[in-house]
A and B are shown apart, each in its own frame.
Chain A
Amino acid sequence: MKSNMADMVFEGLLRIADDNLILGHRTSEWCGHAPTLEEDLALPNIALDLIGHAQTLYCLACEINSRYKNEDQLAFLRLEHEYKNLLLVEQENGDFGNTVLRLFYFSTFMKYFWERVKIKCCFKKLKEFSEKAFLETSYHSKYASQWVITLGDGTDESNLKMSNAIANLEPFLGELFNNDDFTEMCSQNDFLPEPTSIFDSWKNEVEAILQKGNLDFPDIILKKRGGRKGEHSEAFGYLLSDLQYMQRAYPNSSW
């Protein structure tokens, strides 16, 4: 691979891997705290899937960039500004409704993202991975959508909480669909789809589910951004100190 192509693939893999790692970490925070035993099994299982996706993508990134020895270095030993995840995934969980709504937004986005990678991607290993990732993210999207409907269409109080969750996450949705110079380059090289190209499919599905839950579709305009450039919100520092604790305290420790 030519060096400018390698840089592009590395950065692209990091963006997706970081989104999955950070949302996986947030989701894992529910372990032992979910409202019922069934959800206490479901959320950590989803977290495991997300972290598994991140691990595989970090491994591919390490094959391309020899600066990093293994996936743990990428996951646990970078500085805050070196993480390229969306602000959406690093926000605190909030209540259960807020957690499943964010999972619904993100996994529905990733479902359509992988669907496009499956059709076209110049990096063969990622194209192969997308076949499996598509199936798993579809399952997450479906699981979360059922809760969005159940809670939205539940009691006055559960509907209110879901409406609050919609308002709470709204400022972070613009970044999900924001094209930048990098995403344009990825698309021109047939590496990754442009985020805007996913918007219509995503909107159709999300709008239909929200409607079933008597909830209003949010306004999506670019409000908060920075994650893709490594500029994160305050919550992220606390998350990282928890995530990185073991590797910082006991460098190179392994299971």
Chain B
Amino acid sequence: MEKGTEKAWDVCKDLTDPELPFLTLDDLGVIREIKRNDKNHVVTIAPTYIGCPAISVIEEKIASELKKIGISAIIEKSFSPPWSSDWISENGRKKMEEFGISPPHPRKADTIGDSLLKDVKCPQCTSYRTEKVSEFGSTACKSLYRCLDCEEPFDHFKCV
């Protein structure tokens, strides 16, 4: 972190994701960098998905919360390196599970965006007897699963 950006960082890290309100931007690993130039703070964020509708809300939130403490900020998007589910913190994974979303598997070089061959644990009853219902769940970043033991449907955060 660059000197003099600590205050901005303290504000940004606790902001929450509008689609996963129990996770902070820090939990998700979305904030990549905060820098200062003469007039502004430049906050670089890595979108989880290019077309993620939450991104514009996140951008506005960062700018307006920083304005409240007298910081004018420019928000920049970065796609390189692309956001990875590996950047979700341990704490973030725990919170996901508590809220009924099965967290993503660690990424391997040969997998692209799925967990097809791996066991997915049911966040309700912890059974591994689960099956995929659809590649896409309630948002682009999640697939829809069903537990064969407790029969509850649940979202699984994709590995990307």
Known: A56-B50, A138-B113. 14 other contacts (CB 8 A): A38-B134, A38-B136, A38-B144, A39-B134, A41-B134, A41-B137, A42-B136, A48-B51, A49-B140, A132-B79, A135-B113, A138-B112, A139-B135, A142-B112
Stretch at the interface among B3-11, B26-34, B80-88, B122-130: B80-88
B106 at the interface (CB under 8 A from A): no
A41 to B142 Cα, complex, angstroms: 11
A192 at the interface (CB under 8 A from B): no
A99 at the interface (CB under 8 A from B): no
Complex: chain B residue closest to A24, CB-CB: B51
Is the interface on chain A under 10, 10 to 19, 20 to 34, or 35 or more residues? 20 to 34
Q: Which residues of A contact B (CB under 8 A)?
A: 38-39, 41-42, 45-46, 48-53, 55-56, 127-129, 131-133, 135-136, 138-139, 142-143, 146
B37 contact set on A, CB distance < 8 A: none
Evaluate contact between B51 and A53: CB separation under 8 angstroms: yes
Task: In the A-B complex, list the 8 residue pairs whose CB atoms are closest, starting with the nearest.
Answer: A52-B51, A38-B134, A128-B80, A132-B82, A42-B136, A132-B79, A139-B113, A52-B50
- From A55, A129, A135, B51 is in contact (CB under 8 Å) with A55
Complex: chain A residue closest to B81, CB-CB: A131
- From B51, B77, B160, A50 is in contact (CB under 8 Å) with B51
A-B contact count (CB 8 A): 74
Instruction: Classify the interface of chain A: helix, strand, loop or mixed.
Output: helix
Complex: chain B residue closest to A136, CB-CB: B50
Complex: chain B residue closest to A143, CB-CB: B135
Evaluate contact between B51 and A139: CB separation under 8 angstroms: no
B53 contact set on A, CB distance < 8 A: 48
A45 to B160 Cα, complex, angstroms: 16
- From B50, B81, B144, B160, A53 is in contact (CB under 8 Å) with B50
Evaluate contact between B50 and A45: CB separation under 8 angstroms: no
Evaluate contact between A129 and B79: CB separation under 8 angstroms: yes
A38 to B132 Cα, complex, angstroms: 11
Within 8 A of A (CB), among B39-88: 47, 49-53, 77-83
A99 to B122 Cα, complex, angstroms: 33
A52 contact set on B, CB distance < 8 A: 49-52
Complex: chain A residue closest to B53, CB-CB: A48
- From B51, B77, B80, B135, A51 is in contact (CB under 8 Å) with B51
Give, as a whole number of angstroms, the nearest-CB distance from B56 to chain A: 9
Evaluate contact between B144 and A132: CB separation under 8 angstroms: no
A138 contact set on B, CB distance < 8 A: 112-113
A38 to B144 Cα, complex, angstroms: 8
Give, as a whole number of angstroms, the nearest-CB distance from A99 to chain B: 15
Give, as a whole number of angstroms, the nearest-CB distance from B109 to chain A: 12
